[in-house]
Homo-oligomer: A and B are copies of this chain.
Amino acid sequence: MTMSAPPTGVVPPVCTPLTPDREVDVPSLVRLVDHLVTAGVDGLFVLGSTSEVAYLTDRQRTLVVETVVRRAGGRLPVLAGAIDMTTPRVLDRARAVTEAGADAVVVTAPFYTRTHPAEIARHFRLVAQGCGVPVVAYDIPMAVHTKLPAELVLELAGDGVLAGLKDSSGDEGAFRRVVLGKRAEPGLAGFGVLTGSELTVDSALAMGADGVVPGLGNVDPEGYVRLLRACREGDWERARAEQERLCGLFGMVTAGDPTRMGGSSAALGAFKAALHLRGVIDCPATAEPQIPLSAAETERVGKHLATAGLL
């Protein structure tokens, strides 16, 4: 499948199931792909934060892309993160994931090093020049410690550098400036604006977003598919009810004790515990050095599933 533009609709960031000794659990990953595709999602995003990309070795990253691309079988597009610190390393990662079959790459601003707006722009231009597939900008200040300005995103989109935006900044005002800036430029019709804010998807779609990349969509893809459908049909009451149910379910990320573990351990631990409890994956392990959920914390995740009718 060739992709001339980034996918729209529901594009879950696919969790990476691990074995107890932290290898990629390929059979579980295949089942997770089936779980998502069967639910009717529109695309798959691998090697993002929810995939634990920061924890996977290059070999594991390639295995993940190959496994998901093969199972997707061209039925829906696969985007892959090319997550690394600066331009030359990102280009290496982009090459690896496209050779493994990804249809587009998702790229952040430089991190670890000190950077500057002019360097961020140069980075995206060089990455787009150097890789033969569409580039989606990944705005994730929590990870890279800079925010992509709406004006820069629109400028790069207008110049054909960016094919889309995955906005995980949580800044809905800035997100709306991108949506409205796109609408004001007929040449940007093919630019895909996706939100990563899984608790305000109805709002983002009402504003005019093209799609959503919901981490919680691993656990309840049907919910996000129904939510998208309700929005597309203009049934905002039904959309809101579905979103509110998903907000309740999202409460599972507070199951882990924050005095004992970081936010990544708690959120990814909860998603994986839920996938394990639902029978999709064989083992809820997260990668090192994340702290595992305790039995009691896992039980709290189960209660959230039960309340949402997912157990």
Q: Does A38 make an interface contact (CB < 8 A)?
A: no
Q: Is B173 touching A55 in the complex (CB atoms < 8 A)?
A: no
- Known contacts A171-B170, A265-B116, A203 near B207 by CB under 8 Å: yes
Q: Does A159 make an interface contact (CB < 8 A)?
A: no
A contact residues, total (Cβ < 8 Å): 64
Q: Does A119 make an interface contact (CB < 8 A)?
A: yes
Copies of this chain, count: 4
- The segment from A71-79, A106-114, A276-284, A302-310 that touches chain B is A106-114
Q: Does A186 make an interface contact (CB < 8 A)?
A: no
- The segment from A26-34, A97-105, A219-227, A287-295 that touches chain B is A287-295
Interface majority SS on A: helix, strand, loop or mixed?
helix
CA distance A60 to B122 in the complex (A): 21
- Known contacts A203-B200, A260-B118, A289-B123, A92 near B172 by CB under 8 Å: no
Q: Does A263 make an interface contact (CB < 8 A)?
A: yes
Q: Does A144 make an interface contact (CB < 8 A)?
A: yes
Q: Does A177 make an interface contact (CB < 8 A)?
A: yes
A261 interface neighbour in B22, B119, B177, B244, Cβ under 8 Å: B119
Determine which residue in A86, A263, A287 has the highest number of CB atoms from chain B within 10 A of its CB, and name it.
Answer: A86
Q: Is B199 touching A122 in the complex (CB atoms < 8 A)?
A: no
A130–chain B nearest beta-carbon distance, Å: 10
